[in-house]
Amino acid sequence: MSEYALELRDIRKVYKTATEEIEVLKGITLKIREGELATIMGPSGSGKSTLLSIAGGLDKPTSGRVIVGGVDITDMNEEELTRVRARKIGFVFQSFNLIRNYTALENVMLPLLFTGIFNVKEAKEIAIRALEVVGLKNHANKFPNQLSGGQQQRVAIARALAPNPDIILMDEPTGSLDVDTAARVLSLVKWLNDAFGQTIIIVTHNPEIAELSTRTYYIRAGAIYEEPPKRTLTEIVKEIKSSGSSGDIKKIQLEMLKLKLEALERALKEDRIDPTLIEAEVNSLEHRINRLEKAL
């Protein structure tokens, strides 16, 4: 049996449009051991959600192999993937993704029934235990709209945990929660990893979440690193500001401001705007124009 809960081998993902090919993932290789709480950090557009979708069998790589719990799922058809996802992979999303017409108990039972292993009685018993683990046994018969955001996320965690999967994948699991609720949810996640030995992979842009993990990876522009990329976002911004294109952008902004000023003055002459409301805006525009002209 493999010591790795998840292996990604040279994963590439290319999206084709009518005019170009966009390479979102650039040969990513990643191995997550059983029992790890791993964090993959990256800004929006870095490829982290695409990576998570491929790891969870929700999307296919253009090339490379995806192995979950020792089973290569890369070439499986959708029916096979549905069964494998139900047994081996748990998902927790930022938006909870609970079925609103199902109770908390029924939401947790659903992936158990999809496995093709459990009957209804067994699925119900396991679901109740999973809800008990996340502290929601007494809310089993409530619908999602009767639960707070934090409670809904805990139901989602119970749903992911119930089939005892090889990995639980979390995509910005606290993104829709306030700070206190997020802390409670993350405390539960950490406890599940420590007490259950559950392998958990969290994709996030929040560096505070990385503090809880046993290992942190960094994704930037479709490539993954075990150390933060040397070229930080701040350095890239400084490079752009110091490049020649910065002056061109300032010229464009200056033209836009002058056009707005002309439009305001015209509207004032044509008595389409109350003069008392426009004076401060005109003064502000003139100040910004003067500042830009000096900078150029």
Instruction: Take residue 222 and report the two structure tokens written for it.
Output: 């479709």
Give the percent of the chain with pLDDT over 70.
91
pLDDT in tens, 194-240: 888 889 999 988 888 888 888 999 898 888 888 766 655 566 556 55
Task: Residue 33: name the closest of 192, 210, 199, 161 by CA.
Answer: 199
CA distance 272 to 280: 16
Give the chain's mean pLDDT: 85
CA distance 111 to 157: 12
**Which H/E stretch holds residue 145?**
none
Task: Residue 251: name the closest of 292, 291, 286 by CA.
Answer: 292
When computed from its CA atoms, the radius of gyration of the chain, rounded to whole angstroms, is 25
pLDDT in tens, 227-268: 766 655 566 556 555 555 556 666 777 788 788 878 878 887
Residue 93, φ and ψ in degrees, nearest 5: -110, 160
Residue 228, φ and ψ in degrees, nearest 5: -55, 135
CA distance 66 to 60: 9
CA distance 104 to 92: 15
Contacts of 137 by beta carbon, 8 Å cutoff, 6+ apart:
128, 131
What's the gap between Cα 275 and its chain centre?
48
3-state SS, one letter per residue, for 245-280: HHHHHHHHHHHHHHHHHHHHHHHHHCCCCCHHHHHH
The predicted structure's pLDDT at residue 239: 57
CA distance 219 to 8: 14
Across 105-114, 186-195, 220-229, least confident range = 220-229
Whether the model pTM is above 0.85: no
CA angle 136, 141, 144 (to 5 degrees): 75
Task: Residue 198: name the closest of 166, 153, 162 by CA.
Answer: 166
Give me the half-sphere count of Cα atoms (radius 13 Å) on the Cβ side of residue 140. 16
Residue 151, φ and ψ in degrees, nearest 5: -65, -40
